[in-house]
Copies of this chain bind each other. A is one copy, B any other.
Amino acid sequence: MTLLFVLYMAGLTASAMTGALAAGRRSMDWVGVLIIAAVTALGGGSTRDVLLGHYPLSWVAEPWYLGVTAGAALVTVLVARYLEYLKYTFLFLDAIGLVVSTLIGCDVATQMGQPISIVVLSGMITGCVGGVLRDVLCNQVPLLFSSELYASVSVMVGAIYVGGRELGIDHEVVTVTAVTAGLTLRLLAVRYRWGMPKFVYNKDWF
């Protein structure tokens, strides 16, 4: 549990950093950087909580989460020029964030007694919506809808996690399996540019 929390903080940091970099691409000021970083890192869990009516939101109960995202944003601004040399560390931490926040999202919905489909969806919302909000605030079509496997990794992680529990498998075994499978698939997808098939439609009749 403590390890999972450490991983969650690492993921939160990586996620906030992607937000700060996206803000920098739009030449935003520091206020924009801080806000986009916080929304990217915490927007998925917040959306989940608002949709499920799960109050208080995590950062309202634990305002120091906002300190973590602010710290990550400021560090990003300071070391931005060196970050590309840490590309693989960065992608690895971001993958950890995706996988771990998916598990947390599943746990929240499970504790609320939601059915399996909502539990998996809750994991996906927690893992993926922050990046969507980042892209909407930066006025671009969300990357989630067209780049390498991301939401599908989240769904797979949630399905393994929920399925394993339904089958009565030991919780730690299921968690480790889900995290490992998710990290592996995500990193392979980034490495080999695996994506879902695209749907291209050009007509304009409606």
Contact = CB atoms under 8 A, between A and B. Distances in A.
Contact of A46 (B25, B51, B117, B198): B51
Interface residues of A, number: 65
Contacts of A144: 31-32, 35
B66 A195 contact: no
Contacts of A35: 144-145, 151
Contact of A199 (B20, B46, B200, B201): B20
A144 B206 CA distance: 13
Contacts of A201: 21, 24-25, 80
A150 B35 CA distance: 13
Given A51-B57, A202-B25, A206-B87, A197 B30 contact: yes
Contact of A27 (B118, B152, B199, B204): B199
Nearest to A50: B50
B115 A29 contact: no
A23 interface: yes
Interface in A114-160: 114-115, 117-118, 121, 132, 136-142, 144-146, 150-152
Contact of A29 (B20, B21, B199): B199
17 contacts: A23-B145, A26-B141, A27-B200, A28-B141, A29-B145, A29-B196, A30-B198, A31-B152, A32-B146, A50-B51, A53-B53, A53-B55, A63-B118, A137-B141, A137-B145, A138-B141, A139-B140
